[in-house]
Amino acid sequence: MKKINLSVIIIARNEQEMIRDCLESVCGWADEIIIIDDASTDKTIDIAKKYKTRITSLSEKTDFFQLRNQGLEKASRDWIFYLDADERITPELKGEMEKVIGDTKCVAYAIPRRNFLLGKELHWGGWWPDYVKRLYRREKLKGWEGDLHEEPVFEGELGHLKQSMIHITHRDLSSMVEKTKNWSKIEAQLLFNANHPPVTWWRILKIMLAEFYQRGLKLQGWRDGTVGWIEIIYQMFSRFITYARLWEIQNQVKGES
């Protein structure tokens, strides 16, 4: 397989079940594969060492935007593609990327993802089309910023590819709960830092009902069947946890003042 002038950056933390297929989808194709290991404690790195990769292992867990910036610093090719351990590149996407890298006026590209949740591909509820900005001309990408939802800073025009990549997210309920437990703390703290109004029972109820309306009715998440309904209700629960944590922070600070 002909290699292209591309650095693939993979950020991973305890992804021993997913990293092999991720690497298989890009090995032998990308010129350079860089793994930024976010303090993994499983066999993620042992698996990655079996492939032709450059690995940077961190001793402590780091914010995601900082991990993406570390990958940028270590990349040496003209183009950069960010790939998460639970994502895979399809042959069709490879072909389209080869074309735009060879002849393009855009400096960055957003790529649609096909999202699989609990083993089922979701088409409604805001899951499709799900565009993510991942392909960049290295010299035009200035870096990443943002504590919760990191965003790229680049100079130039953004294009959109047609071919999609695969995203195997939320493989089981345990991982869904674990993610909510971790991210809700960060989101609640950001809301507090932004001086969010005091949380009351009716505000919590309002935000949960708004989530149900947006995902379930407006974006028709119910059309994805049982998994669609699980996702709708789970996202309502996730919003509840975030605002309950915010309520907790506000009351702790109030009690200390």
pLDDT (0 to 100) of residue 1: 56
pLDDT (0 to 100) of residue 2: 63
The pLDDT profile of the chain, 257 residues, written as one tens digit per residue, is 567 899 999 999 999 999 999 999 999 899 999 999 998 999 999 999 999 899 998 877 778 889 999 999 999 999 999 999 999 999 999 999 999 998 778 999 999 999 999 999 999 999 998 999 999 999 999 999 987 788 999 999 999 999 999 999 989 999 899 989 989 999 999 999 999 999 999 999 999 999 999 999 999 999 999 999 999 999 999 999 999 999 999 999 988 86
- Residue 208's nearest CA partner among 166, 249, 174, 244 is 244
Structural domains in the chain, sorted by start:
4-169 (3.90.550.10), 173-256 (no CATH)
Going through the chain in order, the beta strands assigned E by DSSP cover 4-12, 30-37, 54-57, 79-84, 87-88, 108-117, 120-121, 130-137, 141-145, 151-154, 158-160, 165-169
